[in-house]
Amino acid sequence: MSEHGRSTVIPAEETRDDVNFLASSGSRRAFLRSGTLATIATAALAACKPGARGADSSSAVATPATGAVTGGTMPVVVPPTPRETADAMDAMHEKGVKAFPAKTEGKGNVLLEPRIEKGVKIYELTAKKTPWEVTPGVKVEAWAYNGMVPGPQIRVREGDRVRVVLHNELPESTVIHFHGLEVPNNQDGVPFMTQPPVKPGDSYTYEFTAPNSGSHMYHSHHNSTKQVSLGLLGAFIIEPKNRANEPHSDIDTVLILNDGLGGYTLNGKGFPATEPLVAKLGQTLRVRFMNEGMMIHPMHLHGMHMTVITKDGWPLPYPYRCDTLNIAPGERWDVLVKCTNPGTWAFHCHILPHAESETGMFGMVTALVVKA
């Protein structure tokens, strides 16, 4: 009856759903058959009892599209089989995974080297509109520091004298808040509470001695729902003065989660444009999760566990193990992964609509590649 020569009949509602899915995905042709085939199909339909799909639910379909077929000359649309539907869906999923890691323009979280004057580490940050490619071909208008999302990574040592100079080239006022840093009150970056807003075209200088060590962040604290969502955010890492208690790691990486600009992103990119984490077998990976979004994101690693060592920069008295770690807005969690299991392992947010749709994986998905 069908091109596979089988005769299982799918209930009309189900075949219609299949057709709708394929029509919306635009990935498959419709099957046009002659009226002769329609007549055969009608006969097959009549011969089959309801619910008689049989064990092979993936086999072919020969259902007339409508009840209006009268035989003879009228063409009829024969819907695809479940196998064909599955193949079409799987092809889209495969395409996404095969494209990973896809190239896009722009890279965020690049380490910013300071200019040093009289022992002060000086960082210049220019807030400005920037076109930003989130996934291949998908560009959004970001509000970014130094043209990247996340903004450049600032990394200092506890006790360093730090000066951050903000230049505002945005069409509205802004400020910088140093999230997690226990700075003097007048350096906290909250408009009208600790400082005036920095108007368009103006600059503003923050200066403090790097306080409590750990994985922290900096971001706008003015019209922040919009400004942080659009990309005014970055990592501010303070290494401890005494490194003796720092756990060993071979690779130290930052993973900033966001759910504003361009959807669900890891370091400013959505799958398949996210960057994989790559380690050699036996190496220890440190991941510094930071949530700059407005939703929780439980990050799940396949194949190996994570050992949670710090919360908001503070060492945990009792590190604990998990494979799924919930990261709430504003939180930072540092974990160690002993890379003992070779292979390419999915690493993703486990709120599934943040990571996968009918057309494949997207958003907050990357992979940990452990090379044997």
Question: To the nearest whole angstrom, how small is the minimum distance from the Cβ of residue 274 to Cu ion?
Answer: 13
> Would the CA dihedral through 124, 130, 134, 135 be positive or negative?
negative
348 near Cu ion, rule: CB under 5 A: no
> Contacting Cu ion (CB under 5 A), which of 215, 270, 354, 367?
354
Question: To the nearest whole angstrom, how small is the minimum distance from the Cβ of residue 73 to Cu ion?
Answer: 54
Question: To the nearest whole angstrom, how small is the minimum distance from the Cβ of residue 356 to Cu ion?
Answer: 11
252-291: contacts with Cu ion (CB under 5 A): none
Cβ atoms 144, 231 nearer than 8 A: yes
d(CA 285, CA 280): 10
Cβ atoms 59, 6 nearer than 8 A: yes
**Type of residue at 223:** N
Among the residue ranges 112-120, 313-321, 331-339, 341-349, the one whose residues contact Cu ion (CB under 5 A): 341-349
Residue 154: CB atoms within 10 Å: 24
For residues 177 and 300, which CB has a smaller minimum distance to Cu ion in the complex?
300
Among the residue ranges 5-13, 20-28, 273-281, 354-362, the one whose residues contact Cu ion (CB under 5 A): 354-362
Among the residue ranges 61-69, 166-174, 201-209, 350-358, the one whose residues contact Cu ion (CB under 5 A): 350-358
Binding footprint of Cu ion, residue count (CB under 5 A) = 4
> Would the CA dihedral through 273, 275, 278, 283 be positive or negative?
negative
**Type of residue at 161:** R
Cβ atoms 325, 348 nearer than 8 A: no
For residues 9 and 349, which CB has a smaller minimum distance to Cu ion in the complex?
349
Tokens 């009226």 correspond to 35
Query: Mutual orientation of helices 82-99 and 12-25 as an angle, nearest 10°?
Result: 30
For residues 167 and 302, which CB has a smaller minimum distance to Cu ion in the complex?
302
311-330: contacts with Cu ion (CB under 5 A): none
Question: To the nearest whole angstrom, how small is the minimum distance from the Cβ of residue 354 to Cu ion?
Answer: 3
Question: To the nearest whole angstrom, how small is the minimum distance from the Cβ of residue 150 to Cu ion?
Answer: 17
Question: To the nearest whole angstrom, how small is the minimum distance from the Cβ of residue 80 to Cu ion?
Answer: 33
Question: To the nearest whole angstrom, how small is the minimum distance from the Cβ of residue 366 to Cu ion?
Answer: 13
Among the residue ranges 38-46, 81-89, 169-177, 347-355, the one whose residues contact Cu ion (CB under 5 A): 347-355
Tokens 């930003």 correspond to 132
> Contacting Cu ion (CB under 5 A), which of 48, 110, 278, 351?
351
For residues 40 and 351, which CB has a smaller minimum distance to Cu ion in the complex?
351
Among the residue ranges 6-14, 302-310, 334-342, 352-360, the one whose residues contact Cu ion (CB under 5 A): 352-360
Spatial CA neighbour of 129 closest among 88, 91, 67, 174: 174
d(CA 29, CA 179): 53
For residues 121 and 297, which CB has a smaller minimum distance to Cu ion in the complex?
297
Tokens 């071979």 correspond to 250
> Contacting Cu ion (CB under 5 A), which of 33, 177, 179, 297?
297
- Vertex 45 angle, CA 43 and 46, to 5°: 65
> Contacting Cu ion (CB under 5 A), which of 1, 10, 217, 349?
349
Question: To the nearest whole angstrom, how small is the minimum distance from the Cβ of residue 349 to Cu ion?
Answer: 3
Cβ atoms 232, 220 nearer than 8 A: yes
For residues 123 and 271, which CB has a smaller minimum distance to Cu ion in the complex?
271
Q: Could you say which DSSP state residue 225 is in? A: H
Tokens 């008689």 correspond to 52
191-230: contacts with Cu ion (CB under 5 A): none
Structure tokens at 181: 């840093």
- DSSP reduced 3-state for 200: coil
Among the residue ranges 72-80, 279-287, 318-326, 343-351, the one whose residues contact Cu ion (CB under 5 A): 343-351
Cβ atoms 118, 52 nearer than 8 A: no
Name the site residues for Cu ion (rule: CB under 5 A).
Answer: 297, 349, 351, 354
